[in-house]
Structures are given as structure tokens and as C-alpha cells.
Structure 1
Amino acid sequence: MSGFSKKVLVALIAFAVLTMSASQVLAAKEVRFASVSWTGVTTKTELAVRILRSLGYEASNTMVSVPIAFKALDTGEADIFLGNWMPTQATMANKYFDKGTIEPLVASMPGAKYTLAVPTYAYEGGLQHFKDIAKYADKLGNKIYGIEEGNDGNQIIQSMIDKDMFGLGDFQLIPSSEAGMLSQVQSFTKDERWIVFLGWAPHHMNEMIDMKYLDGSTSETFGKNDGTATVYTIVRDGFVEENKNVAKFLKNLIFPISMMNQIMTTLHEKDGLKPVDAGLDWVKAHPEVYKGWLEGVTTISGEPALPAFEQYLETVN
């Protein structure tokens, strides 16, 4: 090989290495969240996106249904999902965990609640347990109200009906949006009509509706502990190894139940306020929380994360 040819070959190799390095840097800068249209998950995800953007990352959020969120992580089309409610999503999640394409990263919100609920007047009237629902079929119109189609909670309710668990074989699941379901519940409570619906905490429904959660959940339904749940942050396989700084941030990103209840109540009281704005207002008032989130985290260029995020907060009205 001539000297000229060797120089050309060396130049081509150097160019290829530089191109690969550049593409790796770009890939490392991109952080893709999948979320669902639940107020809490939206708020948490948009907060995480804003924080990462302040650190120099190209963070994005795509809103989909729960099954699609899992599928997006499975296929590598998304990196992170902050709404893995366990054990209620176990049937949906475990197949991906077992497959190895998705991994749980951290319990980001322990002590949550996710199960069937009723207005307090219905509870005091005798509807206190899953086995009581069928007793009051006439009062309930043989209906149980859920949220969006394909949601894991809806799937559990439908399975209970299909298997005639607790004598619910003649009942019908009424799917709706989160807002639509809550509007229906509030409409019923005005006249003290009886209704069974999918409830959860944290959520402003616990403040705006005088409600009680039913006992009787099993491992086949919403979990053995009467619907007490833990929310996990989950990531696609390989994400932690490729993005150690972001993974450190995500492990720190723990959301107290009280924080989310307060944010959701503010959103309910202030019509038109966006979830991310309510979240940022709360974060600005609680620096001890965001300082914990950013402990040991850096910007994309390796500088301490805290000053960069606080500089961003100064620009937020």
C-alpha cells in the first residue's frame, strides 16, 4: 500500500471514529419519556423533562396508553416510564421484566392506593367490601366505572366480571377518561346515588369527593393489601449503562404522596393551570426536595446540576 493510500485509510478511520463519537453523544443527550394521561403521571413526567432540559438533555414526553408505554420501552422507542403501579400492573409488566427488555429502576412513590372506591354514604350504607357489590346491584345499576380503555385497572375489573368473582358476572364495566369518570361520580354524589368506581391516591379526588376504598382486594385483583400500591420508575434494557448520570437522577427522583396530593388539589382549584406549572410552583417552594433529587447529578457537560436547575427556576414565573 502506498503512503498516500495509507494516509487516506487513516483519515477515513479517523472520520468514522469521530462520526461514531458524535452520534453516541447525540444519543446520550436524548432522553425519551412515555407517559399516560393521568394527572399524577403527567405532572411527574413533565417535571422530570424540565429538570433534564435544564441540565442540557434533549428530554421529551410522549403521551400514550399504559399498554403502549410498556411496548414502547420493550421495542426501544422510549426510555423511561414513571407510572408503573404495582401490583396492579403485574400481569402487564412481568412479561417484559421476565423477557429482560424492561427493568424496574426505583420505587419512586411508595404508599399509593389503587382499587375500587365508593362514596362514603354508600360505604356507611353497607357497601364496604368487594363481596358487597353484588348485593347492591340494583342500586348500582349493575355498573362499575373505570377510566380509559386498555388501562390495567379496567382489565382487572373486566377480569373480575368475566370470572364472576364476588358475584359480579352480571355487571358491566363503563370505561371513560379520568376526568369523565370523576365527573360521573360527582354527578351521582349530588343526589347520593350509589356508584362504584376506580379510585387511587395520590389524586385530588380524595379531597373533592367524600369517598372510601373497599376492602377485599386479592392477589388476583388489586393486590393483597387492599389496593395499597407502589409506583415504580421503569426503564428500557440498556438505558442505565448508557446514561449513568440520568439514571442517578431517576434513582433520586422520589415523589412524596403529600407532594402529589397538594399539586393535584392546586390543579383542581385553579382552572386552566397546567400540571407542569403547578409542579414547578410546588418545587420552588420546597428546595429541600429538589436538592435531594439532584444530589450527585451533573449537567450533560459534567458541571454540578443544582446551580443549573436553580438558574432555570429563576426564569419560571
Structure 2
Amino acid sequence: MNNRLTLSGAALLCAALAQPALAAEPASCQPVRFAEIGWADIAATTGVAMTLSEGLGYQPRKVMASVPIAFTGVKNGQIDAFLGYWAPSMDSIVEPFLKNDGIKVLPTPNLDGAKYTLAVPTYAAEAGLKSFQDIARFKDALGGRLYGIEPGNDGNLLIQQMIDNDQYGLGGFRMVESSEAGMLVQVQRAIRQKKPVVFLGWAPHPMNTQFDITYLDGGDDVFGPDHGAAKVFTVVPPDYETRCPNMGRLLNNLQFSVEIESQLMEKVLDKQDPQVVARTWLKANPAILERWLDGVTTFTGEDGLSAVRRHIGL
């Protein structure tokens, strides 16, 4: 009797030792603060990150901020992750934060194949407004205005620099700042009236399918080559991956495509909650979870994939 109990106990001990050790992250890692800057693409990707982290047992929340404030928050330890560093257009903004290791840019972009530069309705391009060098000739028809988005945005800064430096003959123009939604309302109004309008355009974004637009040539010196070809990176505090390695692994795994972001953004622009959008999209596209959650556990060290699948209702 006693021998059987001893053998059973030994068997249970061996079985327990054979199981992988569960390693919870420090309690300080459970709250995860994501910067959100009011752009549909960042709202969409942040919504996915928050949905996944919530399913893993973390406590995500978003902090609304302008681009410079988002980087400042990461540097000061008030924000844990910002998924919206567009390179190269934000390089001049990011440079001071990189000094003395103020922030860390994760090495693999969360989006490749993006673009960001000035655009016009295609009918305006067909009328001769095809490049940055053409804008000045259309000043009267444009009302001397170039449309940007929210104040402090990197694209707005580039437009203002062109105006201040009279680059491409834009010295007499005025930049109109509002928001992404406000700019698109103005574009839609101009298109209804068949008037020319010059505005910040980018991909991924549903504007590329909702409107017939053309990206202007000749802006390589300002927005970079190939119509502002861009990569989008995730930024974290320098020690974040050391302090919170599991969440760091998730953030490194999160890599999107232009197609995925466009699908998510369309719903976000319809005023749907980004986390609801993310949950719905993930239920319809569950295969991607294996890649995004590779090597990722729950906050308490359990199987991450199973936990997230339960969280989104699979």
C-alpha cells in the first residue's frame, strides 16, 4: 500500500517536472498604455494590439496624444507602446528622442509598403496638376490652400517647411490644419464640385478606393522617393522588452500588411470601436493568430493562443 502511494507520488512529481514552467510577468507590466494619435491606421493597429493583450490577461488602455507628445510619453515612461512611427516622414521628429537612448524603435516594421505624400483627385492630375512643381501654377484654382491634418503632425510640418522656404514656389500658400476626418470632408466636397484640391494622402487608407486620387510626382526631396514610400515602426521605452519580455514579444510579432490595415481602417472610419473591429476581423481571420502569438503567453504564463481564441469567441 505504502509502496504504491510512493510510486504514485513519484509519478505525479515526474509529470509535474516535465511540464513547462509558467512565468508570469511582473505586476507592473499588466497595465499597457498605448499611444493613439487620431489616425485611422494607428487606431486600427492599436485596436488589434489592445484586443490581443486583453485576451492575454493584460489591462490595455489608450492615451490620446499628438505625434510629438506620443514620443515624449514613451521617453518619459508614461506610454508603453506607440505603433505609429512613420519613417522617413517622422525622422526629424524622432531624432531628438533617439539621443541618449530616450526611446527604442523595434527593428522590424509593423507595416511595410506604405506611402505618404501629397495627392490630388485624378481629374486634377489630368488637367495638369501632376507634380509638386505644378502646384504653384494652380494657386488661384486651389484658393492658395494645401490641406493637412492635425496640428503637430509630421506631414503638416513638411508642408509648412515648403511654404516657409518658398520651395516649389509655394511661399504664398496657406496650410489648412484640422484632422484626418476634417481633411477628407474637404476633399469630398471638392470632388463633388469637381474642383482641384491638394491634400496629404497615404496608404494604407480607404481613401485610395473611396476616391479616384493621384499621388503627385516630384516630391522626393520632401517626402522621399516612390511617392513617400514608408515603413511604420513600433516604439517602446528602452528597457521595456527587458522589464516586460512577453508583451515585448507580442509587439515584435505584430506585423500587418497594407491589405489588412485597409480592411480594418474602413470600419474604423465608419466610427466603429477599433477593438470591436479588431475582434470581428480576428474571428474572420483566425489563422494569423498563430504568427502574432508565436512564443507569447498570457500575463500569468499560460498558453497565449488558446486564451486569445477564447477571448474573441473562437
TM-score (norm 2): 0.89
- Count the aligned residue pairs: 289
Compared with structure 1, are the counterparts of its residues 272 and 76 closer, same or farther at alpha carbon in structure 2 (3 Å cutoff)? Answer: closer
Equivalent residue, structure 2, for 1:210: 212
Supply the distance in 1 between the matched residues of 2:259 and 2:31 (Cα, whole angstroms).
Answer: 31
Listed as ranges, the matches of 1:69-84 within 5 Å are 69-84=70-85
| CA-based RMSD | 1.4
Unmatched runs of 5 consecutive residues or more in structure 2: 1-24
SS of equivalent residue, structure 2 residue 113: strand
SS of equivalent residue, structure 2 residue 109: strand
Question: Which letter does structure 1 place at the counterpart of 2:132?
Answer: F
C-alpha displacement of 1:308:
0.2
SS of equivalent residue, structure 1 residue 314: coil
SS of equivalent residue, structure 1 residue 59: strand
Matched, 1:143 2:145: yes
Equivalent residue, structure 1, for 2:176: 174
1:115, 1:222 within 8 Å by CA — same for their partners in 2? yes
Structure of higher RCO (CA pairs closer than 8 Å, 6+ residues apart): 2
Supply the distance in 1 between the matched residues of 2:188 and 2:67 (Cα, whole angstroms).
Answer: 25
Equivalent residue, structure 2, for 1:17: none
C-alpha displacement of 1:295:
0.8
Equivalent residue, structure 1, for 2:91: 90
SS of equivalent residue, structure 1 residue 128: coil
Cα deviation per residue 1:264-313 (whole Å; 9 max; x = unaligned)? 23445xx4422322222112111121221001111111111000000001
Q: Hey, which bits of structure 1, 4+ residues long, moved more than 4 A?
A: none
Cα deviation per residue 1:216-275 (whole Å; 9 max; x = unaligned)? 1234x211332111000111111111111111111110011101112223445xx44223
Compared with structure 1, are the counterparts of its residues 310 and 240 closer, same or farther at alpha carbon in structure 2 (3 Å cutoff)? Answer: same
Equivalent residue, structure 2, for 1:293: 292
Equivalent residue, structure 1, for 2:128: 126
Equivalent residue, structure 2, for 1:312: 311
Equivalent residue, structure 2, for 1:15: none
SS of equivalent residue, structure 1 residue 83: strand
Cα deviation per residue 1:102-129 (whole Å; 9 max; x = unaligned)? 1110300001111100000001111111
Q: Which moved more, 1:54-63 or 1:175-184?
A: 54-63
Supply the distance in 2 between the matched residues of 1:311 and 1:113 (Cα, whole angstroms).
Answer: 36
Question: Which letter does structure 2 place at the counterpart of 1:79?
Answer: D
Q: Which moved more, 1:99-108 or 1:276-285?
A: 276-285
Question: Which letter does structure 2 place at the counterpart of 1:275?
Answer: P
Matched, 1:265 2:266: yes
Listed as ranges, the matches of 1:100-249 within 5 Å are 100-105=101-106, 106-219=108-221, 221-249=222-250
TM-score (norm 1): 0.88
Q: Percent identity?
A: 42
Matched, 1:275 2:274: yes
Supply the distance in 1 between the matched residues of 2:147 and 2:267 (Cα, whole angstroms).
Answer: 25
Cα deviation per residue 1:202-225 (whole Å; 9 max; x = unaligned)? 111111111011111234x21133
1:46, 1:61 within 8 Å by CA — same for their partners in 2? no
